[in-house]
Amino acid sequence: MRVIIYDILTFYLLSIDKRIKLLYKNILFFKFSSAIIILMKKILLSIFIYLVFSGCTLTNLNAKGTKNKKITILEQVTLEYEPKNEIAISEISDLSYDKKNHRLYMIGDKGFFYVFSATFKEKIKNLKYINAFKIREKKGQKKYFDSEGLALNNKNELLVSFERKPRISKLSRDGLIVKEYKIPRKLKSKKIYKNSNSMFEALAFHPRYGILTVAEYPIKKRKNTQQTIYALNGKEWHFKAEAYKNSAVTAIEVMEDNNILVLERSYSGITQPFIVTLKKVFINKCNKKQKCKSEVLASFNSFEGWGINNFEGLAKVGKNRFLMVSDNNNRSFLDTVLIYFEVNEL
């Protein structure tokens, strides 16, 4: 039932041509499905929503913060490619950019690793899908990995973080795990996390502090609005998360001045908006308790034209320039979207 409700909710936010394609797809599927009653309900509900909301389309609006010139959106691109090695581009959770070799790397929730080539000027240039791999610990292994965070260190080595088990590893350029990093003692136990799917959601590499990570939700015994950036050397920085219900950190990246860009997401039901927030956490402006100043740069609200774009990944691609990528939740009628934007110097 939850899946059906989600389908209905997202359906009316699609463009008209995509709604028609989806209806046609459902009708074809109906012919071969044994679950006739359930499918018929979905189709009838979809037709009703189509008739009611046929004038609604996804509009590329500016985020609230852009009104104050805190960020400038440079381009939006939808990733539409055929699968490689039988791996479809789906459920992207993070990305990282190798400026030297012009390689853009992405990971997905199901342990898939994607390789693109790209350059970034005023627009995204020469974006090309090169290859895809399954993340594995040894050749031939079929173990499932819930990969969430991706970063490049100062040696240009790929780092990946996981959920289900709090873990950070080094990754080869073809998806092989080649090294494990020691996790601080306080972060090792699964019991401290809200659930098994809310562990090392975000990952970045800092030139001074090394590997940084953030759990999707604050660890137990902390308020929902008290988030923390953890360094593997034990150092911590606390900041205030947004007060929206179910607000979660989905990505972090190091900014030009070595402070932290944080991506947060909030969704709490079909009657509430899907909200994505970009904020700057000033880790060089903290009090004695390591509570740091933060500032919201932009807010993307589904009730204001942004649709249900579940942005989960961040990557720095140039001076003050970043990419943000959406997770399509493995729904064929939802796009995987790249947003190329600039943070204006404050």
Residues 257-295 pLDDT 10s: 999 999 999 887 777 788 899 999 999 999 999 999 999
Of 63, 22, 20, 11, the C-alpha closest to 276 is 63
pLDDT at 328: 85
| CATH number for region 64-343 | 2.120.10
pLDDT tier, 105 (very low <50, low <70, confident <90, very high otherwise):
very high
Q: Where in the chain are all domains bearing CATH 2.120.10?
A: 64-343
Check: CB of residue 110 under 8 Å from CB of residue 89. no
Of the two residues 263 and 67, the one the predictor is more confident about is 263
Q: 195, exposed or middle or buried, with CB in 10 Å at 0-12, 13-18, 19+?
A: exposed
Per-residue pLDDT at 13: 47
CA–CA separation, 80 vs 340, rounded Å? 17
Give the whole-angstrom CA distance, residue 135 versus residue 146. 10
Q: Is 126 exposed, middle or buried (0-12, 13-18, 19+ CB in 10 A)?
A: exposed
The answer on pLDDT for 137 being more than 50 is yes
For residue 64, what pLDDT is reported?
52
Average pLDDT value over all residues in the chain: 82
- Read off the pLDDT of each residue in 92-105 and give the average, rounded to a whole number: 97
pLDDT at position 139 is 65
pLDDT value of position 4: 37
Q: In angstroms, rounded to a whole number, what is the distance separating the alpha carbons of residues 341 and 324?
A: 8
- The residue among 60 and 308 whose pLDDT is bigger is 308
Indicate the pLDDT class of residue 221, thresholds 50, 70 and 90: confident
Measured over the CA atoms of residue 112, residue 117, residue 120 and residue 122, the dihedral's sign is: negative
On the CB side of 128, how many CA atoms lie within 13 Å of its CA? 6
Average of per-residue pLDDT across 316-337: 90
Looking at the predicted structure, is the pLDDT value of residue 45 above 70? no
Give pLDDT, residue 65.
47
pLDDT exceeds 70 at position 215: yes
Query: Sorting pLDDT into bands at 50, 70 and 90, what band is 140?
Result: low
Query: What is the predicted pLDDT for the residue at 222?
Result: 82
| pLDDT of amino acid 181 | 97
**What is the C-alpha to C-alpha distance for residues 275 and 328, in angstroms, rounded to an integer?**
15
The residue that leads in pLDDT, 345 or 295, is 295
Give mean pLDDT, residues 44-62.
38
Q: What's residue 305's pLDDT?
A: 67
Read off the pLDDT of each residue in 328-337 and give the average, rounded to a whole number.
84
pLDDT at 198 over 90: no
Q: Which long-range contacts (CB under 8 A, 24 or more apart) does 109-114 make?
A: 109/146, 109/147, 109/148, 109/327, 110/144, 110/145, 110/146, 111/135, 111/143, 111/144, 111/145, 111/146, 111/147, 112/87, 112/147, 113/147, 113/171, 113/174, 113/175, 114/87, 114/89
- Is the distance from CB of 179 to CB of 159 less than 8 angstroms? no
CA 340, CA 325: separation in Å to the nearest integer?
9
Least confident span in 29-38, 89-98, 171-180: 29-38
pLDDT of residue 85: 94
* pLDDT band per the 50, 70, 90 thresholds, residue 310: confident
pLDDT at 104 over 50: yes
Is residue 30 pLDDT above 80, yes or no? no
